[in-house]
Structure 1
Amino acid sequence: MEIRQIYLHEAALVVNLFDQYRVFYKQASDLKRAQQFIEARLGNNESVIFVAFAELNGQKHPVGFTQLYPTYSSVRTIRNWILNDLFVQDAFRENGIGEALIRRAMQFSVASGAHFLQLETAVDNLTAQKLYERIGFRQKQPDTDFLVYRIPLI
């Protein structure tokens, strides 16, 4: 498995995964919309995307991704990161790909000088919650629809 950051000229590598991610969250499949969204985020430097590649029949194929968005602290005058999207195709789950993507996002965040990496997930997504807590994320504040997790990086 390889995990690497992608850039605008590589947006097509993640469009299908992003569309599957949206379908997982009960949105209608829309590849054109997915492509436009990803290209806009990368083209405007509004997000950072890491893609996991697995080897299939001698070729590397994208099988998972995570997308990070910056957030800023005026008081600390720093940028932090929100891990907004994390998705691994069904056939590749439970192989450590999700955790590897999160850990790569953590490394990137530390290297960029961030004080924390934050994420949230649906209250009923117990599998994800267990993963996040095993890595070291802790709940920030209870909510009725989502749990917000944050991990200190320094």
Structure 2
Amino acid sequence: MEVRQYAARDLDAVARLFNDYRVFYEQPSNLPLATQFIAQRTQANESVLLVADTGDTGDHALAGFCQLYPSFCSVEAAPIYVLYDLFVAESARRAGVAKHLLQAAAARAKRDGKVRMDLTTAKTNLKAQALYESLGWKRDEVFYTYNLTIA
């Protein structure tokens, strides 16, 4: 398995994974929407998308992906990445794919001059939390996260 930068040829496979990711977070399945979203982000260079490539030539060549959005931390007055999406295909779980993606994302952040990466995960996603903490991520115990839906 190799973790590498997304390429245009990966669109269909990443869109399927992204659709599954959205379903995991209780959104309705919508492959056209997933495809459109990934295509727009990558064509506009609005995100950094890393893929875990198994080297297979079939439909399941990609075992997972993570997507980083460039942002800034005003307090640190420095650029950061927000690791917003991380997903591993169910058939590839428990094989170290997420760990490799997270390590590649950290290396990419360092190479790109980012001072930090942030991520948010569901309170119930205990397996992911354990992985993050094993790789040195620290849970924020000071700040709450709020969202405002704009309809």
TM over 0.5: yes
Q: In the TM superposition, what are the counterparts of 1:115-154 in structure 2 within 5 Å? A: 115-141=115-141
Match of 2:13 in 1: 13
Q: Which runs of 5+ in 2 are unaligned?
A: 147-151
CA contact (8 A) 2:22 2:29 kept: yes
CA separation in 1, counterparts of 2:26 and 2:110?
33
Deviations 1:54-73 (A, max 9, x none): 24488970110000011113
CA contact (8 A) 1:122 1:145 kept: no
Aligned-residue offset at 1:142: 5.9
Query: 1:36 and 2:33 equivalent?
Result: no
Deviations 1:62-121 (A, max 9, x none): 110000011113565532101101100111111100000000000000001111011111
One-letter amino acid of the counterpart of residue 107, structure 1: A
* Cα distance change on mapping 1:114 and 1:5 into 2, 3 Å: same
Identity over aligned pairs, percent: 38
CA separation in 1, counterparts of 2:53 and 2:42?
19
Match of 1:98 in 2: 98
- Which has the larger share of strand? 1
CA separation in 2, counterparts of 1:58 and 1:145?
40
CA contact (8 A) 2:80 2:116 kept: yes
Match of 1:152 in 2: none
TM-score by length of 2: 0.86
One-letter amino acid of the counterpart of residue 101, structure 2: L
Match of 1:151 in 2: none
Match of 2:4 in 1: 4
CA separation in 2, counterparts of 1:73 and 1:145?
15
Secondary structure class of the residue paired with 1:115 = coil
CA contact (8 A) 1:18 1:34 kept: yes
Q: Which runs of 5+ in 1 are unaligned?
A: 147-154
TM-score by length of 1: 0.84
CA separation in 1, counterparts of 2:46 and 2:132?
24
Match of 1:69 in 2: 69
Aligned residues: 146
